[in-house]
């Protein structure tokens, strides 16, 4: 039975606390974009994707590509809480010889479907996986999480054209639209709006949704799975630093060291 929206919110609080603890322990890490993406990943891994944590290389599993690779703390925490490995492993984040490095590596970390790092590459990887599924006659879906700052990359738009050209209806891209990047507002640096119109022009089916509303996210992912003949983009409006008031909407928390004092304040905000 799928978890309720209230249960998913409780899971997200746990994951957000994990992210804070990991980054404090490591002494570095990307907090703002990890926290904005937590609810999207929780929805996917608990309510949407067909996966088997006890059999992570199951051939018919749905795949997830974290194109915004700096949000690795959120993905690692989700995988640990979903049962891919021990939660205690999260404390090794970014440490020497740990399998949980700053960017995900599919060759060293259980549950990672694609090695990522350089911005803009994830959707191309997702397209390749989706094409392979079609060639092999498999029915799994491929989900790709893209940062909105990352959407400035030209490769994203090349991949968008490719997915539409090949009618990859087994691809679902999600834009984590928190409106912020390390240097400030995405709209001040290079405006992405009207973002939805751009993707529609590229012949994608587009769904706009509150990226922190689990009920609406569930409906959006269900709609995406029903679309035939073209890929789907879920335009998820999110808040950078979601869940921690002093981080919310603040670009300086894209990548900033967390002190013990601020950690305690953030943990109190998350209950």
- Mean pLDDT of the 92-108 span: 95
Q: Give the pLDDT band (50/70/90) at residue 126.
A: very high
Please determine, for residue 86, whether its predicted confidence score (pLDDT) is greater than 80: yes
- The answer to whether the predicted template modeling score (pTM) of the entire model surpasses 0.85 is yes
Please determine, for residue 1, whether its predicted confidence score (pLDDT) is greater than 80: no
Burial 171-203 (b: 16+ CB within 10 A, else e): bbbbbbbbbbbbeeebeeeeebeebbebbeebe
What pLDDT does residue 128 have?
98
Query: What span, in angstroms and rounded, lies between the C-alpha atoms of 12 and 117?
Result: 24
Q: Give the pLDDT band (50/70/90) at residue 183.
A: confident
Residue 36: C-alpha distances to residues 10, 16, 104, 239 (Å):
15, 10, 18, 5
What pLDDT does residue 75 have?
98
Query: What span, in angstroms and rounded, lies between the C-alpha atoms of 88 and 146?
Result: 28
More confident residue, 1 or 266: 266
Query: What span, in angstroms and rounded, lies between the C-alpha atoms of 74 and 251?
Result: 18
What pLDDT does residue 2 have?
84
Architecture category of domain 5-269 in CATH: 3-Layer(aba) Sandwich (3.40)
Structure tokens at 159: 């991949």
Please determine, for residue 181, whether its predicted confidence score (pLDDT) is greater than 90: no
What pLDDT does residue 109 have?
95
- Mean pLDDT of the 194-222 span: 97
Mean pLDDT over all residues of the chain? 96
Structural domain boundaries of the chain?
5-269
Cis peptide before 131 (omega within 30 of 0): no
Please determine, for residue 105, whether its predicted confidence score (pLDDT) is greater than 80: yes
- Mean pLDDT of the 199-225 span: 98
Kindly report, residue by residue over 32-54, the tens digit of the pLDDT: 999 999 999 999 999 999 999 99
Kindly report, residue by residue over 130-144, the tens digit of the pLDDT: 999 999 999 999 999
């Amino acid at each position: 039975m799928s978890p309720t929206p209230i249960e998913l919110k409780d899971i997200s609080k746990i994951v957000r606390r994990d992210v804070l603890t990991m980054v404090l322990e490591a002494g570095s890490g990307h907090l703002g974009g990890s926290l904005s993406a937590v609810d999207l990943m929780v929805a996917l891994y608990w309510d949407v994707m067909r996966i088997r944590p006890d059999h992570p290389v199951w051939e018919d599993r749905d795949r997830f590509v974290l194109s915004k690779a700096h949000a690795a703390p959120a993905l690692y925490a989700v995988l640990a809480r979903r049962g891919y490995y021990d939660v205690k492993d999260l404390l090794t984040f970014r440490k020497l010889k740990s399998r949980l490095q700053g960017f995900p590596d599919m060759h060293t970390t259980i549950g990672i479907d694609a090695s990522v790092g350089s911005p803009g590459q994830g959707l191309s990887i997702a397209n390749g996986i989706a094409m392979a599924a079609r060639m092999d006659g498999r029915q799994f879906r491929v989900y790709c999480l893209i940062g909105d700052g990352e959407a400035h990359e030209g490769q994203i738009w090349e991949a968008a054209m490719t997915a539409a050209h090949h009618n990859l209806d087994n691809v679902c891209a999600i834009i984590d639209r928190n409106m912020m990047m390390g240097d400030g507002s995405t709209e001040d640096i290079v405006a992405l709006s009207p973002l939805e119109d751009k993707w529609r022009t590229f012949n994608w089916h587009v769904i706009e949704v509150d990226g922190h509303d689990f009920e609406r996210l569930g409906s959006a992912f269900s709609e995406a799975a029903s679309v035939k003949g073209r890929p789907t983009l879920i335009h998820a409006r999110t808040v950078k630093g979601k869940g921690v008031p002093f981080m919310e909407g603040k670009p300086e928390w894209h990548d900033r060291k967390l002190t013990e004092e601020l950690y305690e304040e953030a943990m109190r905000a998350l209950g």
